[in-house]
Amino acid sequence: MPVFVLRRLVVSVFILLVSSFLIFFLVANSGDPLGDLRTDTSPNREQKIEHRIEKLHLDQPVPQRYMTWLGGVSKCAVPGLGCDLGQSVRDQDVSVLLSQALSATLQLVTAAIVLSIILGVTVGVVSSLRQYSGFDYTITFTAFLFFSLPVFWVAVLLKQYLAIEANDWYDDPKIGLTSTVVLSLLSGLFWGAILGGKRARRWIVRGTAAVLTAGLLQYLSAVEWFQRPALGPALIALLSFGTAVGLTALLAGLHRRNVLYGCLTTAAVGSVVQFPALNWIEDSTWASWTNVGLLALGAIAVAAVIGYFFGGLDRGPAIRACVLTALFTGAFMVTDILLRTVPSYSQKVNGRILATTGAETPDLNGTFWQNQLDQITHLILPTLAIMLISFATYSRYSRATMLDVMNQDYVRTARAKGLTERTVVVRHAFRNALIPLTTLAAVDLGVIVGGAVITEKVFARRGMGSLFVTALDQVDPNPVMGFYIVTAVSIVVFNMLADIAYAYLDPRIRLS
């Protein structure tokens, strides 16, 4: 293993050296870095040109310039020497530019990638379990459609239609009769397809889901919930207990009573604790990520203890299920607070709550939760745009691997020895289907560091992608090289991690 890592690293360093030289050469030939100054009319034009030539070493031949650049970069590998990635044409340090852009990109893509992994894998697994059903065909078609959408076309459409329509709707948030009927029918079809079963059962599910949705929408509209959205303590408690039951069913099976009781206790504790906890975190002087994080840690600790004592023979699954229950309860509370912040936030931004450009509203001067909400409303549209394609990839991929695994002999053996369907699917099949998915996710994580060039441009966010494109446009060599070195290193490292993870998860693979 250490030999494998070392060999990979050495090979990678050589590849990076070759490709960085090629790229340096390409950038040097991509245009005239003095282009904007040649048409400059200010009196100190000569000085400016002089300054830039000196700063970018334009008087040297390309190979020598490359060596200078390489000398600066190699200092980054040794801590303490200080990184020298050069300066942009506007005299900014590239390392500073890069760190700003990187944090903006991570903020943008993290939610999108996490959500699309969770949603995509769930949907993919469900559609593989219902292979050749209406749900499967719908998902397949949707995934292909998402694959075939030009990102910037969708992004512009989202901006023009979704955002403006949603904001107009929010002026007077009521759900009309037509929308209620359409939404209820859709929800009926959705739940009918997911739960499946015989024809009669399916119609019952469809009908119930449609009626429930219609009732819920009309009720929310009537009590003006959309003007003052909130979950409320009762709903939080209900959701928390529901999560407890659901997680037990998924992770251990409902017949494991000790796990179920542990989770229900956690949910009960959460439902009681929410009253003081909500007061604390809503208080704007107290609220900060550190304190919320501390609260989450406390919740995890308490849940783990509960799981430990209730678990008995199923201690492991019990602790896992309890901790997840606690985290979900916490997430419900945060959602509640964010929802309750909506009215005051809406006033500050004149009712246009779905933002279309930038990463935050300038001069908002809001409370802690208003600021968080502000960032979230700015993230919704770009996240959707990025999610479309990743969701399609993950759902297709997980469907394929899951189908592959479900047809393996050991799954038949597991069924033959009388294991429950849950155990077969979750324990035997899904765990093994996760192995190739891990690789895909690891490679993906390496790539996203490069930013979502088009999404960033459409929504005017200043991430890695926009840094790269702007620098390309302005024939600014150092930021391009800085972008390259960060993305290339992350791709190399994450590809290696993917291989290591694969070998670790699948003992049949040996690294050599």
Does position 132 interact with another protein (CB under 8 A)? The reply is yes
CB of 169 to another protein, least distance (A): 20
3-class SS string, 190-244: HHHHHHCCCHHHHHHHHHHHHHHHHHHHHHHHHCCCCCCCCCHHHHHHHHHHHHH
- 145 binds another protein per the rule CB under 8 A: yes
DSSP 78: S
Q: Give the nearer residue to another protein in terms of CB position, either 263 or 498.
A: 498
Burial class (CB in 10 A: 0-12, 13-18, 19+), 292: buried
CB 353 within 8 A of CB 346: yes
Residues 421-480 interacting with another protein (rule: CB under 8 A): 450, 453-454, 457, 468-469, 472-473, 480
Tokens of 143: 């995934």
- Residue 75 in contact with another protein, rule: CB under 8 A: no
The verdict on 342 binding another protein (CB under 8 A) reads no
Of the candidate residues 60, 74, 99, 160, the single one contacting another protein (CB under 8 A): 160
> Which listed range, 141-149, 250-258, 347-355, 422-430, lies at the site for another protein (CB under 8 A)?
141-149
Please say which residue, 24 or 328, places its beta carbon nearer to another protein.
24
Residue of 10, 46, 153, 208 interacting with another protein (CB under 8 A): 153
User: Is 290 a binder of another protein (CB under 8 A)?
Assistant: no
Rounded to whole angstroms, how far apart are CA atoms 439 and 500?
A: 9
Q: Could you tell me the smallest distance in angstroms from the CB atom of residue 443 to another protein?
A: 11
Size of interface with another protein, in residues (CB under 8 A): 41
- Provide the CB-side half-sphere exposure for 313 (13 A, CA): 3
Instruction: Tell whether residue 147 is a contact of another protein (CB under 8 A).
Output: yes
Q: Is 30 in the site for another protein (CB under 8 A)?
A: yes
**Binding of another protein by 178 (CB under 8 A):** no
Q: Toward another protein, which CB reaches closer, 145 or 222?
A: 145
Question: How far is 334 from 311, CA to CA, in rounded Å?
Answer: 28
Of 464, 447, 343, 460, nearest to 393 by C-alpha is 447
User: Who's near 244: CB < 8 A, 6+ residues apart?
Assistant: 260, 263, 264, 266, 267, 321, 325
Q: What is the separation of C-alpha 244 from the centre of its chain, rounded to a whole number of angstroms?
A: 24
Q: Rule CB under 8 A: is residue 152 a binding residue for another protein?
A: yes
Distance of closest approach, residue 94 Cβ to another protein, in angstroms: 16
How many distinct helices (H) and strands (E) make up the chain?
Answer: 21, 0
The smaller minimum CB distance to another protein, of residues 42 and 148, is found at: 148
> Shortest distance, CB of residue 379 to another protein, whole angstroms?
22
Q: Which of 76, 106, 149, 426 touches another protein (CB under 8 A)?
A: 149
Q: Please report, as residue ranges, which positions from 86 to 125 form the binding site for another protein (by CB under 8 A).
A: none
Q: Tokens 């956690």 appear where?
A: 266
| Neighbouring residues of 74: CB distance < 8 A, sequence distance ≥ 6 | none
Pick from 7, 9, 10, 19 the residue near another protein by CB under 8 A.
19
Least CB distance from residue 150 to another protein, whole Å?
4
Residue-wise DSSP of 81-136: S-----B-TTS-BHHHHHHHHHHHHHHHHHHHHHHHHHHHHHHHHHHHHTTTSHHH
Q: Does residue 16 interact with another protein by CB under 8 A?
A: yes
Structure-block tokens of residue 432: 């093994």
Nearer to another protein among residue 336 and residue 456 (C-beta): 456
What Cα–Cα distance (Å) separates residue 342 from each residue in 310, 353, 356, 383, 439? 39, 8, 17, 20, 39
Q: Is residue 361 within 8 Å of residue 283, measured between CB atoms?
A: no
Tell me the per-residue interface mask from 476 to 505 with another protein, x by CB under 8 A, - otherwise. ----x--xx--xx--xx-------------
Closest distance of CB 490 from another protein, Å: 11
Q: Answer yes or no whether residue 62 interacts with another protein by CB under 8 A.
A: no
Terminal-to-terminal C-alpha distance of the chain? 8
* DSSP characters over 287-325: --HHHHHHHHHHHHHHHHHHHHHHHGGGHHHHHHHHHHH
Q: How far is the CB of 194 from another protein (least distance, A)?
A: 20
Nearer to another protein, 149 or 238 (CB): 149
Binding residues for another protein, rule: CB under 8 A, are 11, 14-16, 18-19, 22-23, 26-27, 29-31, 132, 144-145, 147-153, 156-157, 160, 450, 453-454, 457, 468-469, 472-473, 480, 483-484, 487-488, 491-492
